Amino acid sequence: MLRQQRSVARHATRHPCSLNAAVRHSSAVARLHSLRQAGAQRQYLSPLRRSPSTTQTRAAAPTTASKTKKDEIEGPSTDISVIYARLQRLVLPYWMEEPSARWRLAGVVGLTLATTGVSVWFNFLGRDFYNYLSEKNIDAFNMQLIKYFASFGIGIPVFVFKGYYQQRLALEWREWMTAHLLKQYFADRSFYQLQAGAIVDNPDQRIASDVRQFTDAALGLSLTILNSLIDLVSFSGILYSIYPPLFAALLAYSIGGTVGSIALGKSLVGLNFRQEAVEADMRYGLVRVRENAES
């Protein structure tokens, strides 16, 4: 590469009119050399997302199999198989390498089950409370009021501890995942390959920001789904015992709302991906302006 650049420089000195062409040729050679270096270490970069520009330049895949493999690591996707493959690479390492994290997760799941039990208990308390109130049964009403206050003293700490340990677990997961990605980021000068090959847009900001969003959303969504399924099983019997047609109507309404939300939300995946990239570019530009404020 150095011999080519020297040859270009001598040619430009002898023929000044071709200086612009020589500069363009030298830039193209340097760019090709950097891209070849970037391709040599792609195996270190699997957990990181690639920029949309890189995805577009490599859209012409030679075979269907290579295109499927490329889609598993690049860009936004609503394909369940792609999402599952990505979650395996990002989620499993922490829970497999940290045994104590599994115990903490089991504790959070237990507290989640306890919150469902508290909700069901308050549902029965409320039923008896309003029944005694409508019957004007003063003695039973006073006893039910005492049970209500006692249940508040037991139920509120369960919800508070559940939220506290869930956020703490998400923070510990974020700390581990950030250190894991930084280790890959600095290994074998991968940060240079990312910059030279434009493989990922703003990787430093993505490690700092996206890891927090991922850990909070993954843990919170998983526990929310678990809690919702338990609530569905727990309260279905209560609703069905009150009025079966009401239970059927609510079940149909919830299924229809879920299907509609999924259909409408698919288009938001790409928009959210693009929004994060644009915001990261803006922050990067503002940092450059501040660093060069005195120039």
> In whole angstroms, how far apart are CA 130 and each of 107, 124, 238?
35, 10, 16
Q: What is the pLDDT of residue 23?
A: 40
Range with top average pLDDT, 21-30, 75-84, 252-261: 252-261
Q: What is the pLDDT of residue 144?
A: 86
pLDDT digits (tens, 9 = 90+) for 119-143: 888 888 888 888 888 888 888 888 8
- List beta partners, residue 74: 50
More confident residue, 184 or 35: 184
pLDDT digits (tens, 9 = 90+) for 263-287: 888 888 888 888 887 887 888 788 8
- % of the chain at pLDDT higher than 90: 15
Q: What is the pLDDT of residue 242?
A: 81
pLDDT digits (tens, 9 = 90+) for 226-239: 988 888 888 888 78
- List beta partners, residue 50: 74
Residue 5 phi, psi dihedral angles, 5° rounding:
-65, -40
Confidence of residue 3 (pLDDT cuts 50, 70, 90): very low
What pTM does this model have?
Answer: 0.63
Mean pLDDT of the chain: 75
Core vs surface per residue 94-113: b (16+ CB within 10 A) or e: beeeeeebeebbeebbebbe
Question: In which residue are the tokens 């019957």 written?
Answer: 135
pLDDT digits (tens, 9 = 90+) for 66-100: 444 444 446 677 777 888 888 888 888 899 888 89
